[in-house]
Structure 1
């Protein structure tokens, strides 16, 4: 038990008053001898014993009445209540700022209801109480106030709250809230969580959330303020993806854009509108309308647009007609090419058959038509190839190139006139690190030890080469479609299983997959006997793809099966050139990493305006970034300040806000909402919260009765009213007993 006003227990000392009066009146007379009393002494003694008993009972009742009165004034309560009355409280407010809080329940959004409830609770805090405010989605952020006693600043902070594009996770907010409450000096602690009670917020780290809530329960009052209606469903459709039906987007073409929508709500949606913008310009004049999307179902919309300019282009899909705008936009950065320039390093044609040239099959896959017969078409085609012999490959050949193929190219050893020059290898390593793509194919001219020493020493081999494996005519090596990862560059080849099975191979290099040798390498495709066939390694901003077999017909049919070679080469080029698109597409909350061209320059991050502030004001908030840190010998800038979906830019401090994606103005990229927030829309009921946490915390509905509910919650732990009620019964009993004793006498 705890006492809210323990000093009032001093009033219990008044119990000595009736005791003193009792003994005073008892000593007020003195006995006198009187002869007739001898005759009635016997009767008096019997009556005296009865009177003494009645007086002692009356004395006890009056003393107990004084004790109960003092106890009532001391305001007793349960020790676990930890709050109550007018004593100071250390309060911590945690606001759910995930974008589901932007949904409307009636005339107000859930966040607006949270703000109103918080301001009402602020007014109930006793004098000398403190308050600390945190925002929380999948991370917690302390907002203030600077001085915890400053309620005016706390009100301003509450009114300035904005939703983010993050998903719900209660653990970070609860963890920081408990730590903040424990820094206070008041014995009473209260933690309020203002949220729409998304079930995913409890389930994302359920075990840890449950343990943290139990810890808070033992040290403070944990109260959830429900800011949404658990019985009301939110109609919502999310844009999950937008795809170009063109492997390598290039200028002077019209391409279809396929937009994928998903109804994440629990009701059928009709009349959803879809708009697609390319660099801020609508692809089609009018918004396309989707007649109906069933609950939980997906739908696709196809729009066609022109790609006029080369460079990184920004796609933005916007939908309307649902009840939650937080995931109604989806961004994607695409690299539109004017030309893709490919350098092929291979032995030139020197025989009777043109297919003997080491680059013949790759050139046909890159330019899938007869270039000699259609000169006009080759001039318009967007892929340009240049072939060079290994010993003639100089650093200047890499200028303006996007991808390099080493096709059975020997490296220079003893003969200074044969193989790749060391200067070219050094420049090639720099080319890949700066975002270029490198594809290596094997053959008879490839010597494993020399490749390991030269290319491996330059960091251009995903895995060290071992011995060559030779197949028999009856058991050739075959690529295994089942070994391809869906998300890899070869993922689109999985449907071409029949053509992969036709790509039989007679010779394949062994690759060392040991942990010590693999490092950050990945095996993207294997043979049916589970040996590595294609491996990759990221080198700086570029990537190396290594084929353990030849890319001509000397070791197999990997490139001579046209139905396989053309799509495979197209996806390889698309994948490698996409790495040169600066910035890119991220998800809200991702950490951004950038190697600045000038580490001595001070940079700042230009952010989009908050979700609820899409006004005509074009200015955007800026945040100064810290100094670049050394990572693997390079200066790297990082920031995780990406909580709002939209366009971002990293520019030198004071530089103008770039319009669109302008790599020359600094790093530009886009951030999409974290769709885990609305993947399964549904608020947890009080019963479900009890099941998830193992106990039922106080849950108060935000609204007109929030303030009175909080006050009632604080006083519910007191026993004062029960003590007063007991005192009333005691006084009534004392009066009745006194009347009875008087009547009896």
Structure 2
């Protein structure tokens, strides 16, 4: 619906000046000129009583004067169309729908879609609307617009996924979508306890209003929500979101071996603390398993890694002249995702490889990258041969610093290297920097 507003509405007071031309037209009197006639000059003058009625005359002239004053006043008031600003500047309502795995139970997601549709249709007329979906990440389903019907149609195409719940991801994404304008966020979710994490809080502008719509927890579901090791015991937290008291059992496993078990009685709608009289070691993998055949299976177990395994070493053998430059790019490439790959890159010269291999635990040595054979003495070659014989991996980067005879010696026939010359090959010149002015003459033919 079209809407208008004024930048300086105080100038509308000037519309009172419309009364001026109207008043002038009302008080204007027309006086006809006196004409003397010879036939009546000798008659006696007799006063004539007249009834004067003041009426508007010259309607066209009056309307032009009034319109001129109105346009002048509106020009100073500076009107503009609010719809011309578009959805990018009008207030925005973002409906964020939880599509995590817990929404797949007992028609939860159908209730969520119905409540989200009600939120979209109930948005104020001057608000644009948008739809986002979130689990561990958030995505835009319907871009900001005034088309409620299109947003509802895209909303109905949503399906729940298999991810966990992260409210911070959903709120942060919705806040970025709103930007600097006013607006609000309506969150449609089953309000999973694990969706909030202390280390990952959402930050929202003060002018953004938040409305949370709880679709309700699924009936008869128990969830394992926390594992907490303590100095003298191990604690697990169980949430019964059902409407009836539940009896169940909880098992504690260490490195896939059961070490404790406990029977619990969980009141409806409450959290139960399960205490295992077990002190966990400093390392290992802990798992707590809840027996809940009626609820959601994905929240019946939780894992905890007590200590990360020691990262494996990856030895890179260089020339030893400058360790920071000889294998700089290789070290940077291997460093990508180092936390996920779990290895530590160690740059060493060939002359120091023997003592380092001897001091390294064989179980923590992932592989050896051989960039050069210079400086490899007989002891280092024997250690490399033993490492390969025991199943270790050696990556040989063939180049001018790698001598085939040395490699053949410590590999002892496992792999044979030899010099060879490539002949009868077509050679092409490829520019290293296409932006250089010398290559402009080649145009699109530049390879």
TM bin, normalised by shorter chain, reads 0.3 to 0.5
Larger Rg: 2
TM-score by length of 2: 0.37
